[in-house]
Structure 1
Amino acid sequence: MTKIRAVKSKDDCNAIAQLANIIWREHYTPIIGIDQVSYMLDKFQSSEAIKQQIEDGYKYYAISYNMVLVGYLAIKKNDHTMFLSKIYISKDFRGLGIGKTALNFIDQEATNHACKTITLTVNRFNTNSINAYEKLGYIKTRTAIKDIGEGYVMDDYIMERTL
């Protein structure tokens, strides 16, 4: 059974950061390389970074399957749009409907907050994720290249789905 609950405590942030370390290294190393993965984990997915994002208005959620932490997501409402900042599921738990449950949760949160669209960013070379989002009705609206420091950039598509 999949459960999604708000991340609130320091222990929650630590657990999400540890899970991010595993997921990101497995998933993103072939796409952006280990050096950028390590940099981004420290900058965006450390326990301290997660706590700061929550203070800045992002809502983080832990995703558990049969009482095991298997993923997480983060969203933020911007006007009439819900921004899906992060959604990650551990490799060993993909294909069990957990991602679909999480995306339905995001849809419901967007509806509850009177959002008309959901937007997200996805690395332009993250083909599997792009294909999955397109199957769910997301469309590419533009590209965005963002300097994140230390000579690294995020080279993304902005994708959007109307509710």
Structure 2
Amino acid sequence: MVDEIVFKPVETREELEALARLAAEIWMDYWPALIGEEQTRYMVEMFHSVEAMERDRAEHGYEYWFIQSETGDVLGYTAGHDEPESGRYYISKVYLKPEARGRHLATRTFAFFDELCRKRGWHAMRLNVNKGNELGLRAYRGNGFQVIDAVVNDIGNGFVMDDYVMERPVSA
């Protein structure tokens, strides 16, 4: 169990490069069994490369954080952006290294987002999760998220994301 975790904002080009390497490592470990290696590689490039993260920051206001132990060990990363039109925060990414899973870091990540949402005046958080991602679904349901929709999004190259949309109110 990790005593304390820190959410370190990703700010520099060097940090984005380190985050892209971490994303590729986590994704290539976890996702090929669920969606295949070809789609995994495509999604890493489309959504987790330095260029993709720079685009999402510039065009959609994405924010990225390393999830770290108090000693600075990187355990994973998270990202999202404000949705002022709906009064919600969209959590785009919560990804942990294999050795960090099962240690309640998702719960602490949602507590981090709760605080961020309260400061910004948002009433809810939402996210998308692959319908076959049982580990993610368990973590999200266990943290109060409920399915509000099901969507299939064409992401190009013959691939789709077949997801549940989940939401939970911000804690008081």
The bucket for the TM-score relative to the shorter chain is: over 0.9
Structure 1 counterpart of 2:23: 20
50, 55, 78: which one pairs with 1:73? 78
Cα RMSD (Å) of the superposition? 1.1
Q: Distance in 1 between matches of 2:103 and 2:129?
A: 22
Q: Distance in 1 between matches of 2:106 and 2:114?
A: 12
Task: Kindly provide the amino acid, as one letter, of the partner of residue 47 in structure 2.
Answer: F
- Contact conserved, 2:107 with 2:143, CA < 8 A, in 1? no
SS of 2:99's equivalent in the other structure is helix
**1:61 and 2:40 matched:** no
**1:113 and 2:120 matched:** yes
Measured against aligned partners, the alpha-carbon deviations of 1:4-49 in whole angstroms (never above 9, x if no partner) come to 1111101111111111111111111111000000000011101111
Q: Distance in 1 between matches of 2:118 and 2:10?
A: 21
Alignment of structure 1 residues 13-162 onto 2, 5 Å: 13-56=16-59, 57-65=61-69, 66-79=71-84, 80-162=87-169
Measured against aligned partners, the alpha-carbon deviations of 1:45-93 in whole angstroms (never above 9, x if no partner) come to 0111111111120111111122122211111110200100101111112
State the identity as a percent.
Answer: 30
Task: Kindly provide the amino acid, as one letter, of the partner of residue 23 in structure 2.
Answer: A
TM-score, normalised by the number of residues in structure 1: 0.95
TM-score, normalised by the number of residues in structure 2: 0.91
- Contact conserved, 2:131 with 2:162, CA < 8 A, in 1? yes
**1:8 and 2:11 matched:** yes
SS of 2:14's equivalent in the other structure is helix
Unaligned runs of 5+ in 2: none
Aligned length: 163
SS of 1:104's equivalent in the other structure is helix
SS of 1:61's equivalent in the other structure is strand
Task: Kindly provide the amino acid, as one letter, of the partner of residue 142 in structure 1.
Answer: D
Higher alpha-carbon deviation: 127-136 or 32-41: 127-136
